[in-house]
């Protein structure tokens, strides 16, 4: 039997020390959650990718475009139901620091190929009707204060205006996505508007297409579509690579390089630092309790209950710290999204992350509690009572 | 005023060696994580800034921030290369100025995954300009007009088809890898080939930047102002050093931000730990403090004595942190240059600056963590302190 009151009494004996230990644990678990969530966010696009979409891009480079003539040819491929063009615009709002993604795309087809997109403000009809209009991710709009009807000036080094000015887009809608496969921090505008401006000489830049996204008909095999597309342009003029959406997203994760490794190393460092700290606290308080342990054993408490008291102290301490850390991570979610959401779209402290944090907490509690608890169990009454502090 | 002998603190730390060690390693792990992130940032930044030359200038299209964005038509680059009076003359009496093509191409890493490798289309003129900055270390030089490439030394072990004798497929044209070159700067992560052949293979009849060596004594500011308003080829002129420094801004900003965030968050946890250790030290040494006060030491001396002890803990933690981070020095890693979206290989650099920052950080942790316990120690009354034990 473990006297539970004794556990709480022991923990609260040094209140400040107790609070500080819980807080440092909370900070560490908070940090683990944040770091883990960043990695999860990086991979979110892969996890949420749709199976019925095929991405066609240049085989050579992300920065090489494909001729417009590929579009109609791709639409002819067996099993292709719908097709949407995307062109990276690479611009910024007022200053270069104000960066978010902009794409020229086919407005109607965007909705056909990406059923996960939905408008939280404005209407699809307004967007379709006005060639100079755009859709903006709700988060991005909130960050910069864009509202329906506003004109958003964008300067693009890739597509400079002949007069040196900015491109103006009227906000027709604020969108969100039901899945992480579509970024929520983007500005979408009419491909036709871009094309028209280039043809009229209002702006300069390449007329070709960045990527084509194909929607595959139910029953058709994406693999067949991909190999047919690859073979179709094998001899140029631009060789292409057709991939599933998840491969396409994974490609970006791979390009970011060692970030997951870096983040895990940092997480490892945090774990070690905090384990040492908690272990320290537990050892210190166990040493101070040596005499109490002697008294308990003299009164007839078994080795098992003494062991239980000490290990429970460690678990309670870590449990509190861990819970606080997880809570903190969850509470700061919106502010993290606001500050670095454009670099880590889809940042979220997910259920699995929380489970991992709980596991880390329990592990720290166990590792920090086991040594003092074992020592207390094996202490003889006489040695414990004789102990000098 | 008499100070408490410092040996008193040192011996106290030695007596409580297990708590001391745990605290030191706890602070050490925190410091090591910070030092690691800083070493990463230093490695990246040195690679770019230290290899940039002041007498080499880079011409970009106005409004572009990097050579990936910048485009010159062949005609415009010709006008530039033929008409720049400020260009130094080479041994052959011709000006040292050259157009270069640049593109980030998709390549596969040897250990799996994709990455973006910069490919640079050059002429013999580029080699003349960089001189010793680009040294062949294996194989032979490029032959003009041939389907050949030479690869940067950092690619050989990382990227598929970047070994001498391998065939590198660009769009539909195979190129032969004939040599390996070395450079102190980011060139060592690039593939170089004949610019006309590469331009043809990639169907990119353009130049992305123009580089030149200036005659000694050229007024760079005047050149910048003139080219900014040049009627034929308005362009943005930067020294190579300025250009390379500007390339590090995005990643350095991210790494510095990450370092700062970690320093604050992990530092908070470490301060709590240090405070805890000192508080525990205090409670077991109350009796000693009573004696110190009784034999005439002033509270102020007690305060300094305990603060000194905390600083020693911090210093030792800082030293351990540096030792833990030191093996990272020279370890190769890769990171994304966000400006051009290409991966650059470089080594961690645990510079003296990194170590000083780490130690100062550790001392601050000790100082902040030790202040409150030291104040508590100083405010004890001799009679009470001796009685409490």
pLDDT tens digits, one per residue of B85-137:
888 888 888 899 999 999 999 899 888 888 889 999 999 999 999 988 899 99
Q: How far is A107 from chain B (nearest CA, A)?
A: 26
pLDDT of res. A85 = 92
Q: Which string of DSSP letters, residue by residue, matches B163-232?
A: STT-EEEETTEEEEEEEEEE-SSGGGG-EEEEHHHHHHHTT--EESEEEEEBPTT--HHHHHHHHHT-SS
Entry pTM: 0.81
- pLDDT tens for A302-350 read 888 889 988 999 999 999 999 999 999 999 988 888 777 767 777 888 8
CA gap A237, A66 in Å, rounded: 9
Any CB–CB contact under 8 A between A179 and chain B?
A: no
- pLDDT tens for A289-309 read 888 888 888 888 888 888 998
Estimate to the nearest angstrom the gap between the alpha carbon of A49 and the chain centroid.
14
- Interchain contact, A27 vs B170, CB within 8 Å: no
Q: Is the pLDDT of residue B321 over 80?
A: yes
Ranking A14-28, A198-212, A243-257, B285-299 by mean pLDDT, the lowest is: A243-257
Residues 146-205 on B with a CB inside 8 Å of A are 170-172, 202-204
Ranking A113-122, A335-344, B40-49, B156-165 by mean pLDDT, the lowest is: A335-344
Residues 11-40 on A with a CB inside 8 Å of B are 14, 16-17, 20-21, 23-25, 27-28, 30-31
B269 → closest Cβ in A17, A24, A343: A24
Question: What are A345's two structure tokens?
Answer: 């779209």
Give the model's confidence band at A388: pLDDT under 50 very low, under 70 low, under 90 confident, else very high. Answer: low
pLDDT of res. A320 = 94
B333 → closest Cβ in A155, A160, A258: A258
Strand partners, A161: A203
- pLDDT tens for B251-282 read 888 888 888 888 888 888 888 888 888 888 88
Measuring CA to CA, which residue among A241, A56, A227, A60 is closest to residue B169? A60
Q: Determine what percent of chain A is predicted with pLDDT higher than 90.
A: 20
- Interchain contact, A24 vs B268, CB within 8 Å: yes
Q: Is the pLDDT of residue A1 over 90?
A: no
CA gap A362, A357 in Å, rounded: 9
Residue B258 near residue B37, CB atoms below 8 Å? yes
Q: Is the pLDDT of residue A76 over 90?
A: no
CA gap A57, A65 in Å, rounded: 8
- In A, minimum Cα distance to B324 occurs at A269
Please, is B55 exposed, middle or buried when counting C-beta atoms within 10 Å of its C-beta (0-12, 13-18, 19+)? middle
């Amino acid at each position: 039997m473990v006297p539970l009151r004794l556990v709480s009494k022991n923990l609260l004996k040094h209140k400040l020390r107790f609070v500080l230990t819980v807080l440092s644990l909370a900070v560490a678990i908070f940090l683990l959650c944040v770091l883990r969530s960043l990695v999860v966010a990086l991979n979110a696009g892969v996890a949420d990718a749709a199976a019925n979409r095929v991405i066609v891009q240049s085989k050579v480079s992300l920065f090489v475009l494909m001729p417009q003539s590929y579009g109609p040819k791709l639409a002819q491929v067996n099993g292709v139901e719908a097709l949407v063009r995307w062109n990276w615009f690479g611009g910024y709002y007022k200053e270069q620091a104000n960066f978010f993604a902009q794409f020229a795309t086919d407005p109607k087809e965007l909705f056909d190929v990406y059923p996960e997109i939905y408008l939280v403000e404005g209407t699809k009809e307004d967007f379709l009707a006005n060639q100079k209009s755009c859709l903006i991710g709700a988060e991005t709009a909130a960050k910069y204060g864009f509202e329906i009807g506003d004109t958003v000036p964008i300067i693009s080094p890739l597509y400079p205006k002949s007069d040196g000015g900015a491109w103006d887009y009227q906000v027709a809608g604020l969108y969100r996505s039901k899945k992480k496969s579509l970024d929520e921090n983007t500005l979408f505008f009419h491909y036709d508007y871009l094309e028209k401006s280039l043809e009229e000489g209002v702006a300069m830049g390449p007329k070709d297409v960045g990527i084509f996204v194909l929607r595959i008909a139910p029953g058709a095999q994406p693999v067949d579509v991909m190999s047919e597309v690859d073979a179709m342009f094998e001899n140029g003029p631009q060789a292409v690579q057709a991939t599933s959406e998840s491969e396409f997203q994974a490609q970006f994760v791979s390009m970011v390089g060692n970030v997951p490794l870096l983040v895990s190393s940092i997480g490892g460092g945090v774990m070690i630092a905090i384990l040492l700290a908690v272990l320290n606290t537990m050892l210190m308080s166990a040493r101070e309790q040596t005499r109490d342990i002697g008294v308990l054993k003299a009164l007839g408490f078994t080795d098992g209950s003494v062991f239980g008291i000490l290990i429970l102290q460690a678990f309670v301490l870590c449990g509190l710290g861990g819970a606080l850390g997880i809570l903190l991570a969850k509470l700061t979610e919106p502010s993290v999204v606001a500050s670095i959401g454009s670099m880590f779209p889809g940042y979220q402290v997910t259920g699995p992350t929380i489970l991992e944090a709980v596991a880390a907490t329990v592990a720290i509690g166990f590792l920090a509690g086991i040594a003092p608890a074992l020592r207390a169990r094996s202490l003889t009454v006489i040695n414990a009572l004789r102990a000098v502090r | 005023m008499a100070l408490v002998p410092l040996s008193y603190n040192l011996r106290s730390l030695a007596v409580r060696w297990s708590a001391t060690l745990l605290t030191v390693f706890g602070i050490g792990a925190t410091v090591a994580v910070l030092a690691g992130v800083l070493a990463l940032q230093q490695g990246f930044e040195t690679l770019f800034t230290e290899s940039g030359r002041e007498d080499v200038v880079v011409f970009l299209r106005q409004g572009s921030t990097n050579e990936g964005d910048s485009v010159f038509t062949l005609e415009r680059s010709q006008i530039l290369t033929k008409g720049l009076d400020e260009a130094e003359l080479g041994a052959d009496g011709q000006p040292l100025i050259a157009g270069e093509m640049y593109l980030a191409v998709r390549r596969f890493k040897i250990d799996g995954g994709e990455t973006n490798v910069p490919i640079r289309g050059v002429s013999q003129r580029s080699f003349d300009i960089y001189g010793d900055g680009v040294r062949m270390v294996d194989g032979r030089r490029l032959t003009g007009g041939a389907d050949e490439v030479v690869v940067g030394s950092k690619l050989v072990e990382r990227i598929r088809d970047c070994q001498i004798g391998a065939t590198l497929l660009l769009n539909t044209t195979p190129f032969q890898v004939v040599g390996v070159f070395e450079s102190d700067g980011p060139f060592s992560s690039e593939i170089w080939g004949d610019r006309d052949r590469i331009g043809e293979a990639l169907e990119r009849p353009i130049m992305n930047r123009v580089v030149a060596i200036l005659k000694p004594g050229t007024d760079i500011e005047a050149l910048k102002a003139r080219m900014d308003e040049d009627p034929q080829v308005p362009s943005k002129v930067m020294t190579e050093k300025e250009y390379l420094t500007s390339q590090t801004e995005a990643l350095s900003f991210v790494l510095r931000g990450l370092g700062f965030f970690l320093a604050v968050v992990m530092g908070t946890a470490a301060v709590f730990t240090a405070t805890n250790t000192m508080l525990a030290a205090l409670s077991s040494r109350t009796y000693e403090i009573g004696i110190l006060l009784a034999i005439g030491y002033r509270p102020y001396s007690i305060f300094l004595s305990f603060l000194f002890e905390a600083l020693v803990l911090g210093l030792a933690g800082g030293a351990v942190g540096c030792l833990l981070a030191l093996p990272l020095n020279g370890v190769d890693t890769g990171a994304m240059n966000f400006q051009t979206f290409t991966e650059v290989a470089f080594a961690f650099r645990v510079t003296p600056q990194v170590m000083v920052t780490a130690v100062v950080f550790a001392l601050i942790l000790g100082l902040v963590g030790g202040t409150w316990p030291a104040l508590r120690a100083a405010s004890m009354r001799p009679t009470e302190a001796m009685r409490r034990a």
